């Protein structure tokens, strides 16, 4: 535990300017914490002693849980006894789902796509087959599954696997047509191989193709059905090692399904047909149907349809069998959606899906393949959804899905995470959100109900908010590492819908997703919610439990940058820079919104991008729009993206900024208080001299110069249309925000080329300054620019290398009770403003003295003249009191704005101000923590002395920084573009944690990463999944208790009594000894070069150890009972044998007695 003194420093030693302080910090080298004035605190006497309780022992990084739909799914499996579901993906991930709360994520190290999954039913294990031709055995008897064994095939490609119920031998089919057998316990290949040339007839001249199906006969486990792609079916006798029968069909086979009696099987084919075969007559199928084919009038075969990719044939004891298949639709309906067809008797039901079907499984009551299956549900895995259909009801309703798999219903564009928020928020949000739930779901319980889960020790409420491309906002209950949607807000409802074809005639500047949510700001205490959209608008929402019908108030704000270089007229005949001609075509129409420019001869001015509804709007209970603020076109220039947003309920103010400047709006009085260019905020305090210039001379250039982009730029990795020109010119590197253009996707006219030429041959025609909130993919112009925009490039300080031609974006805003000027005697209401050039400007807010005057008296906003500096764009602010405790922003206690009680008490605002304690002496009362993308500084207020500086990174830049609470203390958490997660102590900025966790491979991670209190963080790991992690050692230690159990002790159901006659004449699978047939003693060893065994990290001891639990005890008890019964039986047999022996002896003695009864002694 480190102690330090917070000293009152002599004015003569600390009067250095903030710029000088910054320079002193940078001189210490990367990662150093220094006192700018040398030995700070050497003069003066200690005023307060602050203890920093956090040390590096409090921090550790680990992933906790992953929510959402598995990205790019490929495979599906279900354990009918444990009732858990496994989904494999193209990225090598496996998600295992059980009852709500049981959700496990595993990842193959190779990253190879998962081809197939097979549960060892009720054994707590799973086999995965991957595209790199490796088999893996996963141990599910632990909360974080681990690989026990791997088997890598070297010479053959795996195409299909089959594991019979209660068997330890896995059949593996390959692309060459061979079938290998693997021992699941040892993961060693058996010497028994079914070669393709032995399986087919000798007269066959062509290769049968890859193995597409393997299954043992339900009637006799010693018979294996092998399906080859070209239409060949082989019924192989494993004992005699020969084919019992062969069947041929002239269409390719996609799947095979058995009737439970083992006498018939059904195949699906590439022409949309289903064939039913009988083992007694394999020459041709005894039934062929094309379910969706049109019947020809002349009696010919129905026309072919699309391939039936999979079929399942399930029998019922008291009704007709179910035939379920995917695909097979007619070719004459190309626009029909993917469908699942259910045939039950003569009824055919087609269920249309929203997305392509990846796989499906029919859930049955029994795990035994030779019993009536009694199907009750169908699990359908789609490309972007998971659906379960109830088969027990005639209309086949779907089950209501309890998992949070609809995160990506519309692509996620931003996230916010709140831990330890007010406990009443979750039930309140759930109550208003539950009213909008859909009806018509099945009334049965969710059938995937395996595993076990408890709340664990973590009890504080957590809420995650996601903003989406369609303008919707979702609130999620994230408590105790689960996720459940509470409430959905549609922000687009405040705007008029754009009619098709009106795009060019209006001022809309984003062609795709004009309502996309770009930034969110939420005050949980006051329940004020604020959204900034991609079309340059801000909406302020208030929460109410009552429905209202009212008009939506709206304001329009002009924000324009009034700074421009003085351009001396030059002849247009000057040749452009050499490669300009080659660049012109490539730079043409890079933006998706260029076609929305106004027609020639007209100039847009004072027009917002979207139209707010003018009529009264019905607003249901929940979040209701209180005010819409829109930026407008200025002299033909479109409004620029909003890059920072802050709202304060106690002040009744909302502030937002962009590349041009800052706007402050009073949302109580519905008035604009401030709309000012960034340079005007400095007043006389601007440390950089810029030449004034007329914006008129750049109008033609600016008309085509859009910072606003379609969301194919905003989230390039998601499911958006990406134009060819965009694909050709946008690279995938994440570059520093301050090194990017604020206006991407320009179309250059000849005048623009000549203007670019005046910049100099080495200067690309893109502006350089940009905020962290306005990050975008860089546009490569030359190879030099490409190199400059790479991840690891070292940038000089934004302060020391300011581009005269840049706009200074507002990147961070913070409302606070603070000291606006040096040596102020009391705190006042302030707005802290951070810019993309590392400047911090403090604005004074003059609010009415009493609450009664708040609605009538104007609020004054004015620059205080205070300017502080850092390196790099400012990311975040925070305030600590003199004891080092985090000071929360002022807020208004929530009250329902539409409450039925209209008395004075209901109208009276209750404010919580959190002002620092004041005393009579003139000492400092407050720490101001400011973090930029390069460094962090701590200033003492009101003296504005820079106490601590820490240069976080020199070669990279921060993407996110948050001041968070942990273990009743406070620290600064940072996420760097090079993948490092760092924490710094406060106020001394000592490094506590620095771990290389996650290289930022795309902008999705950079855009969605956020920290919150109690050592938690999250980011969007894929377009459909949220990954949560913790940087708290305590939570890492307790994680095992919080995770769900995948495996629970369940008795395997007993097989039905088949009856004497069936057992006698129906085949006897029980007599088949696979161990004797496939073991090394009989089959020999497989070739070492064929496959390589790789021991896993889990180890077989893990299974044995885990088996020592309750299920092991049950098994041992059962074995002991069996042994006792066996011994009692043996005793009975011995007793009966002794009795029979005694009886025989008695009889024999009696016969001897009768023989010699009447004889005399001399007759012997």
pLDDT in tens, 192-212: 999 998 888 877 778 899 999
Helix (H, G, I), strand (E, B) or coil at 772: helix
pLDDT tens figures, 617-655: 999 999 999 999 999 998 888 899 899 999 999 999 999
Q: Which helix (H) or strand (E) holds 90?
A: none
Question: At residue 580, does pLDDT exceed 80?
Answer: no
Instruction: Report whether 403 contacts 484 (CB < 8 A).
Output: no
1123 pLDDT band, cuts 50/70/90, is low
pLDDT tens figures, 379-431: 999 999 999 999 999 899 999 999 999 999 999 999 999 998 898 999 999 99
Q: What is the mean pLDDT of residues 51-76?
A: 93
Cβ atoms < 10 Å from Cβ of 944: 21
368 pLDDT band, cuts 50/70/90, is very high
Per-range mean pLDDT, top range of 12-16, 497-501, 611-615, 1154-1158: 611-615
Helix (H, G, I), strand (E, B) or coil at 475: strand
Question: At residue 185, does pLDDT exceed 60?
Answer: yes
Mean pLDDT (the chain, rounded): 78
Distance (Å, whole) CA 163 – CA 258? 15
Question: At residue 713, does pLDDT exceed 60?
Answer: no
Contacts of 601 (CB under 8 A, 6+ apart): none
Least confident of 260-274, 284-298, 492-506: 492-506
Pairing status of strand 232-237 against strand 125-130: unpaired
Tokens of 158: 């795996």
Helix (H, G, I), strand (E, B) or coil at 375: strand
Distance (Å, whole) CA 716 – CA 1023? 10
Nearest to 466 by CA among 458, 456, 451, 476: 476
Contacts of 122 (CB under 8 A, 6+ apart): 79, 81, 82, 367, 1050, 1052
Helix (H, G, I), strand (E, B) or coil at 1035: helix
**Residue 132 DSSP code:** T
Distance (Å, whole) CA 1041 – CA 1048? 15
Instruction: Report whether 961 contacts 984 (CB < 8 A).
Output: no
Q: In what order do the strands lie in the sheet with 412-419?
A: 412-419, 462-468, 472-477, 484-490
Question: At residue 1130, does pLDDT exceed 80?
Answer: no
Higher pLDDT, 107 or 304: 107
Nearest to 865 by CA among 840, 842, 838: 842
Q: Which helix (H) or strand (E) holds 1038?
A: helix 1033-1042
- Number of residues that this document lists for the chain: 1164
Instruction: Report whether 944 contacts 866 (CB < 8 A).
Output: yes
SS3 annotation, 785-826: HHHHCCCCCCCCCCCCCCCCCCCCCEEEEEEEEECCCCCCCC
Q: What percent of the chain has pLDDT over 70?
A: 73
Contacts of 538 (CB under 8 A, 6+ apart): 530, 531, 532, 628, 629, 630, 642, 645, 654, 656, 665
440 pLDDT band, cuts 50/70/90, is confident
pLDDT tens figures, 536-554: 999 999 999 999 999 999 9
User: What integer pLDDT is reported at residue 23 of this predicted model?
Assistant: 36
Tokens 């603020």 identify what position? 629
User: What integer pLDDT is reported at residue 651 of this predicted model?
Assistant: 92
Tokens of 787: 């190199």
Question: At residue 993, does pLDDT exceed 70?
Answer: yes
pLDDT tens figures, 653-667: 999 999 999 999 999
Question: At residue 137, does pLDDT exceed 90?
Answer: yes
Instruction: Report whether 875 contacts 812 (CB < 8 A).
Output: yes
Least confident of 309-318, 849-858, 966-975, 1092-1101: 1092-1101
Question: At residue 75, does pLDDT exceed 70?
Answer: yes
Q: What is the mean pLDDT of residues 799-804?
A: 36
Contacts of 949 (CB under 8 A, 6+ apart): 21, 22, 24, 25, 28, 33, 34, 36, 935, 936, 937, 989
User: What integer pLDDT is reported at residue 1113 of this predicted model?
Assistant: 53
Question: At residue 597, does pLDDT exceed 70?
Answer: no
Question: At residue 1097, does pLDDT exceed 80?
Answer: no
Contacts of 913 (CB under 8 A, 6+ apart): 650, 817, 890
252 pLDDT band, cuts 50/70/90, is very high
Q: What is the mean pLDDT of residues 884-897?
A: 89
Peptide bond into 942 cis (omega under 30): yes
User: What integer pLDDT is reported at residue 679 of this predicted model?
Assistant: 87
User: What integer pLDDT is reported at residue 851 of this predicted model?
Assistant: 77
Distance (Å, whole) CA 309 – CA 335? 19
Phi/psi at 1022 (5° precision) = -150, 170
49 pLDDT band, cuts 50/70/90, is low
Q: What is the mean pLDDT of residues 1118-1145?
A: 73
Nearest to 417 by CA among 889, 910, 1030, 971: 1030
Least confident of 226-230, 476-480, 660-664, 727-731: 727-731
Distance (Å, whole) CA 728 – CA 573? 31
**Sign of the CA dihedral with 243 first, then 244, 249, and 253 last:** negative
Name 937's bridge partners.
Answer: 930, 949
Distance (Å, whole) CA 35 – CA 369? 76
Q: Which helix (H) or strand (E) holds 1006?
A: helix 1003-1008
Supply the pTM of this predicted model: 0.80
Q: What is the mean pLDDT of residues 1092-1112?
A: 56
Distance (Å, whole) CA 1098 – CA 348? 47
Tokens of 1116: 């041992």
φ/ψ region of 98 (left if φ > 0, alpha if ψ in -120 to 50, else beta) reads beta
Contacts of 392 (CB under 8 A, 6+ apart): 376, 377, 444
Question: At residue 951, does pLDDT exceed 60?
Answer: yes
Question: At residue 672, does pLDDT exceed 60?
Answer: yes
User: What integer pLDDT is reported at residue 915 of this predicted model?
Assistant: 61
Tokens of 374: 């009694």
Q: What is the mean pLDDT of residues 1088-1093?
A: 82
pLDDT tens figures, 300-321: 777 888 999 999 999 999 889 9
pLDDT tens figures, 1041-1084: 888 899 999 999 888 876 544 554 555 444 677 888 887 777 77
Q: What is the mean pLDDT of residues 248-261?
A: 93
User: What integer pLDDT is reported at residue 1 of this predicted model?
Assistant: 47
Q: What percent of the chain has pLDDT over 90?
A: 50
Question: At residue 470, does pLDDT exceed 90?
Answer: yes
Tokens of 44: 């003066």
Nearest to 265 by CA among 250, 244, 279: 279
Distance (Å, whole) CA 689 – CA 683? 12
Q: What are the C-alpha distances in Å from 521 to residues 186, 483, 954?
A: 56, 21, 30
User: What integer pLDDT is reported at residue 1118 of this predicted model?
Assistant: 57
User: What integer pLDDT is reported at residue 1033 of this predicted model?
Assistant: 93
Distance (Å, whole) CA 710 – CA 724? 14
Helix (H, G, I), strand (E, B) or coil at 1096: coil
Least confident of 48-62, 214-228, 286-300, 855-869: 286-300
Q: What is the mean pLDDT of residues 160-171?
A: 93
732 pLDDT band, cuts 50/70/90, is very low
């Amino acid at each position: 535990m480190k102690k330090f003194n917070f000293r009152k420093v002599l004015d003569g030693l600390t009067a250095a300017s903030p710029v000088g302080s910054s320079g002193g910090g940078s001189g210490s080298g990367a990662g150093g914490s220094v006192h700018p004035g040398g030995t700070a605190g050497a003069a003066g006497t200690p005023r307060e002693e602050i203890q920093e309780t956090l040390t590096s022992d409090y921090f550790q990084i680990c992933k906790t849980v992953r929510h959402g739909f598995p990205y790019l799914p490929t495979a599906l499996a279900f354990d009918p006894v444990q009732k858990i579901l496994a989904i494999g993906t193209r990225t090598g991930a496996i998600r295992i789902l059980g009852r709500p709360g049981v959700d496990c994520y595993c990842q193959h190290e190779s990253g190879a796509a998962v081809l197939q999954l097979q549960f060892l039913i009720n054994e707590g294990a799973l086999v995965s087959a991957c595209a790199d031709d490796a088999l893996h055995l996963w141990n599910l008897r632990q909360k974080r599954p681990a690989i026990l064994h791997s088997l890598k095939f070297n010479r053959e490609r795996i195409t299909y696997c089959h594991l019979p119920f209660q068997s330890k031998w896995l059949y593996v089919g390959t692309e060459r047509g061979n079938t290998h057998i693997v021992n699941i316990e040892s993961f060693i290949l058996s010497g028994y191989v079914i070669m393709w040339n032995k399986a087919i007839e000798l007269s066959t001249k062509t290769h049968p193709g890859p193995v597409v199906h393997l299954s043992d006969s339900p009637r006799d486990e010693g018979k294996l059905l092998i399906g080859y792609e070209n239409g060949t079916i082989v019924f192989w006798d494993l004992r005699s090692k020969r084919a019992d029968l062969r069947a041929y069909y002239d269409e390719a086979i996609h799947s095979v399904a058995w009737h439970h009696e083992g006498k018939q099987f059904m195949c699906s084919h590439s022409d949309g047909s289903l064939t039913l075969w009988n083992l007694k007559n394999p020459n041709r199928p005894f039934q062929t149907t094309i379910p969706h084919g049109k019947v020809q009038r002349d009696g010919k075969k129905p026309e072919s349809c699309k391939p039936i990719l999979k079929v399942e044939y399930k029998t019922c004891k008291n009704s007709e069998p179910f035939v379920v298949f995917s695909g097979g639709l007619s070719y004459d309906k190309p626009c029909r959606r993917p469908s699942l067809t259910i045939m039950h008797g003569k009824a055919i039901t087609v269920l249309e899906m929203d997305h392509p079907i990846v796989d499906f499984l029919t859930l049955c009551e029994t795990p035994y393949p030779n019993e009536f299956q009694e199907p009750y549900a169908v699990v359908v895995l789609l490309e972007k959804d998971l659906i379960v259909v109830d088969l027990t009801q005639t209309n086949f309703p779907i089950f209501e899905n309890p998992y949070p798999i609809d995160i990506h219903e519309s692509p996620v564009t931003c996230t916010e995470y709140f831990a330890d928020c007010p406990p009443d928020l979750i039930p309140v949000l759930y109550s208003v959100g539950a009213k909008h739930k859909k009806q018509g779901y099945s009334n049965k319980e969710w059938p995937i109900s395996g595993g076990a889960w408890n709340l664990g020790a973590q009890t504080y409420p957590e809420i995650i908010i996601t903003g989406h491309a369609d303008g919707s906002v979702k609130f999620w209950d994230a408590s105790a590492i689960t996720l459940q949607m509470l409430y959905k807000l549609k922000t687009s409802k405040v705007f008029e819908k754009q009619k098709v074809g009106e795009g060019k005639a209006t001022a809309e500047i984003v062609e795709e997703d004009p309502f996309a949510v770009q930034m969110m700001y939420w005050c949980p205490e006051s329940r004020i919610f604020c959204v900034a959209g991609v079309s340059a608008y801000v909406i302020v929402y208030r929460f109410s439990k009552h429905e209202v019908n009212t008009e939506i108030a709206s304001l329009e704000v002009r924000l324009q940058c009034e700074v421009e270089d003085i351009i001396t007229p030059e002849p247009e005949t000057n040749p452009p820079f050499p490669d300009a001609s080659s660049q012109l075509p490539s730079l043409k129409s890079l933006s998706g919104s260029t076609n929305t420019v106004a027609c020639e001869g007209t100039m847009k001015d004072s027009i917002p991008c979207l139209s707010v509804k003018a009529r009264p709007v019905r607003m249901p209970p929940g979040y209701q729009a209180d005010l819409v603020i829109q930026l407008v076109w200025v002299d033909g220039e479109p409004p620029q993206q909003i890059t920072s947003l802050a709202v304060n309920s106690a002040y009744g103010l909302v502030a937002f900024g962009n590349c041009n400047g800052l706007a402050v709006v009073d949302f109580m009085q519905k008035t604009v208080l401030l709309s000012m260019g960034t340079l005007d905020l400095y007043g006389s305090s601007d440390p950089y001299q810029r030449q004034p210039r007329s914006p008129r001379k750049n109008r033609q250039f600016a008309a085509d110069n859009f910072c606003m982009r379609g969301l194919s730029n905003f989230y390039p990795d998601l499911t958006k249309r990406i134009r060819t020109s965009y694909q050709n010119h946008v690279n995938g590197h994440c570059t520093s925000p301050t090194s990017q253009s604020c206006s991407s996707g320009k179309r250059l006219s000849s005048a623009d080329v000549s203007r670019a030429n005046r910049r100099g041959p080495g200067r690309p025609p893109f502006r350089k300054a940009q905020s962290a909130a306005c990050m975008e993919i860089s546009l490569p112009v030359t190879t030099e620019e490409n190199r400059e925009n790479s991840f690891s490039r070292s940038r000089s300080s934004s302060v020391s290398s300011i581009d005269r031609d840049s706009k200074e974006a507002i990147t961070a805003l913070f409302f606070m009770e603070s000291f606006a000027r040096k040596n102020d005697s009391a705190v006042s209401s302030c707005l802290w403003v951070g810019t993309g050039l590392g400047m911090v400007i403090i604005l004074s807010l003059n609010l009415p003295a009493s609450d009664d005057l708040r609605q009538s008296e104007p609020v004054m906003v004015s620059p205080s003249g205070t300017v502080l500096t850092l390196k790099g764009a400012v990311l975040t602010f925070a305030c600590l009191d003199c004891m080092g405790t985090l000071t929360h922003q002022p807020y208004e206690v929530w009250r329902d704005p539409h409450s039925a009680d209209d008395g004075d008490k209901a109208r009276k605002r209750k404010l919580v101000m959190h002002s620092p304690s004041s005393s009579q002496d003139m000492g400092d009362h407050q720490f101001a923590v400011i973090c930029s993308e390069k460094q962090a500084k701590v200033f003492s207020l009101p003296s504005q002395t820079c106490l601590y500086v820490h240069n976080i990174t020199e070669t990279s830049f921060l993407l996110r920084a948050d001041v968070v609470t942990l273990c009743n203390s406070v620290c600064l958490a940072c996420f760097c573009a090079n993948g490092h997660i760092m924490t710094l102590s406060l106020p001394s900025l000592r490094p506590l944690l620095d771990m290389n966790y996650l290289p930022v491979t795309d902008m999705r991670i950079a855009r969605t990463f956020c920290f919150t209190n109690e050592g938690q963080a999250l980011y969007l790991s894929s377009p459909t999944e949220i990954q949560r992690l913790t940087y708290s050692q305590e939570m890492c230690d307790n994680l095992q208790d919080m995770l769900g159990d995948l495996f629970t002790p369940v008795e395997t159901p007993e097989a039905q009594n088949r009856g004497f006659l069936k057992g006698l004449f129906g085949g006897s699978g029980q007599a088949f000894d696979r161990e004797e047939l496939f073991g090394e003693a009989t089959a020999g060893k497989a070739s070492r070069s064929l496959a390589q065994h790789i021991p896993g990290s889990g180890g077989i001891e893990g299974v044995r150890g885990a088996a020592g639990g309750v299920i092991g005890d049950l098994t041992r008890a059962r074995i002991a009972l069996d042994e006792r019964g066996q011994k009692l039986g043996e005793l009975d047999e011995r007793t009966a044998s002794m009795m029979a022996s005694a009886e025989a002896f008695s009889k024999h003695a009696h016969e001897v007695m009768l023989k010699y009864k009447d004889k005399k002694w001399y007759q012997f």
